Structure 1
Amino acid sequence: MKKIYFIRHAKAAQKDYENDFERDLNERGKKDLALMCDRLKKHKVRVDTIFSSPAKRCAKTANKMADAVKFKGKIEFVDMFYEASVSDMLEFIRELDDKLNSVFIVSHNDTITEICELLSDAAIGNIPTCGIFCIEFESPFKNIKEHENRALFFDYPKKHKKD
């Protein structure tokens, strides 16, 4: 069984940035990221490779999560992820090496939510910032079909906040 962990970047600053690409994590994003990294550690998640948008907020999210799961490889930054369409993302996934069994994809909404709904058996509406949606695949990546793969879990920071 193959797994892809689709991860939306942590919460980023909204103001004081001339360039959206350079937006950095804000304080809430940093706290939420620490929480989600602890969740990955608790569940002993391991990953073969990590692909991330090169945008600053995604790169920082990917690096922290790589540390949390003790990933020893090099994160691959995929320029196309920054403004990827769902069809771009699907094509990317179908071209993954079948030697990979566990993959992180760190990217942006709306694409990250839409690809999860397209590939899984779930209707989620929205992946919040720093949310993780894991899908399990029985077929090789090149043969992945829409709506025929099982959602393993959906976790995000607000699930763990006490009112």
Structure 2
Amino acid sequence: MGKRLAKREVRPDLLVSSPALRALTTAQLIADEIGYPRKRIVVDERLYASSPDDLLAVACALDNKLNCAMLFGHNPEFTEFAHRLSSEIIDMPTCAVAEFRFDAKAWADVAGIDPVKVKLDAPRR
């Protein structure tokens, strides 16, 4: 998935990961592929054993100077969170990447609006 993101020239301003080894390792591997420094990955306890509400709170609290952020965590919470943002997403397989674009001035606004773009990419099984 990291190679796909690099090919699409995805350049997030911030990577935020659950402290769990699997999520953090995935974040590090993606960071390596897209040229994001591993030392800048933020570990956020709220992404471990979370709820969709917790994930929304993390997203809504992001610094408004950021244009693009990636969150790394666990199912079933991430599938539920993605489905809450867009009913187009029903399942997020392991290592899937869901992209949401919002026409919003602040991250806090994403809680109450629909995304203008939704894309799901997942490894082939």
- Could you tell me the TM-score, scaled by structure 2's length? 0.90
Identity of aligned residues (%): 32
Please, which runs of 5 or more residues in structure 1 have no aligned partner? Answer: 1-35
2:69 to 83, 94, 103: 103
1:76-91, aligned counterparts within 5 Å?
76-91=42-57
Look at both structures and tell me which one has the larger radius of gyration over its CA atoms. 1
- Quote how far apart the aligned CAs of 1:150 are: 2.9
- Quote how far apart the aligned CAs of 1:136 are: 0.3
Letter of the structure 2 residue corresponding to residue 52 of structure 1: S
1:17-56, aligned counterparts within 5 Å?
36-56=1-21
Distance 2:82 2:112 in 1: 10
- Could you tell me the TM-score, scaled by structure 1's length? 0.70
Please, which runs of 5 or more residues in structure 2 have no aligned partner? Answer: none
1:115 to 69, 75, 81: 81
RMSD value, Cα: 1.5
- The aligned counterpart of 1:23 is none
Distance 2:103 2:24 in 1: 29
Distance 2:112 2:31 in 1: 28
Q: How many residues align?
A: 123
* 1:51 alignment partner, SS class: strand
Query: Deviations for 1:85-139, whole angstroms, at most 9, x for unmatched residues?
Result: 111111111111100001010010111111111112x332210001000000111
CA contact (8 A) 1:119 1:146 kept: no
CA contact (8 A) 2:15 2:41 kept: yes
